[in-house]
Amino acid sequence: MMDDGAEPERTPRDERMLRRRADILRVAARLFAESGYERTTLEVIADELGLSKPTLYYYVKNKEDVLAQILEGVIQNIAADVETAITPDQSPEEQLYHVIRIHTRRICDYPAGRVLILYESHLVTERRPEIFALRKQYRERIEQIVEHGIARGIFHVADAKLATLAILGALNWVARWYLPNGRLTPDEIGEHFARILIGGLINPATVTPSDA
């Protein structure tokens, strides 16, 4: 007997629909990254997939819905990977190390990571609050780690929220210059950023006007 709280088993039709939706988002992300969000129409996406426009509308409401689903997937994947990697027994610097490595790896996942950074501002309908809520929840999780490090005397910064925003700003900007065929892999970039950003929290430089 099925547990009332269990999710219903997926049918072959459900699986096909999920695969088709994933294909749509994958192709749309590539087209957004290569041609730009404004220049990529639903007709272009449908043609690339060999679908009719009515068939495409069966899976998405409009172009903004496509973008929202791509962004939602990226943020959810980052947050899920982080929660899997960090454990309560790890020190704050260990937890933050995992966050930085995972975030960098995901944000370098071309083209979806690039789409997240370049086109989030194009969300103007009811889906925008949902995306912002996901980002806020993820940001607050990182802020908790920084606060824990400050409380334990490991991180020597005065403002955990500002430090968190600085970390996320640095990591998100990677998507603007990262090249899949570039000199460094995502893991190598993540390693460099982890050393720089965590080091800055542990031993922040003191700069006075006379030194500037």
If DSSP codes are grouped into helix, strand and coil, which group holds residue 167? helix
Predicted local distance difference test score (pLDDT) of residue 11 = 84
Q: How far is CA 153 from the centre of its chain?
A: 29
Please state the pTM of the whole predicted model. Answer: 0.83
Tally the residues of the chain.
212
- Mean pLDDT, the chain, integer: 89
Tokens for 158, please give them: 């005065």
From the centroid of its chain, how far is CA 52?
30
Task: Name the stretches of the chain with pLDDT < 70.
Answer: 1-8, 124-126, 206-212
Confirm if 163 and 146 have CB atoms less than 8 A apart.
Answer: yes
Residue 110: Cβ within 10 Å count: 16
* pLDDT tens, position by position, 115-129: 878 887 777 666 778
| 137-151 tens-digit pLDDT | 999 999 999 999 999
What is the phi/psi pair of residue 156, to 5°? -115, 65
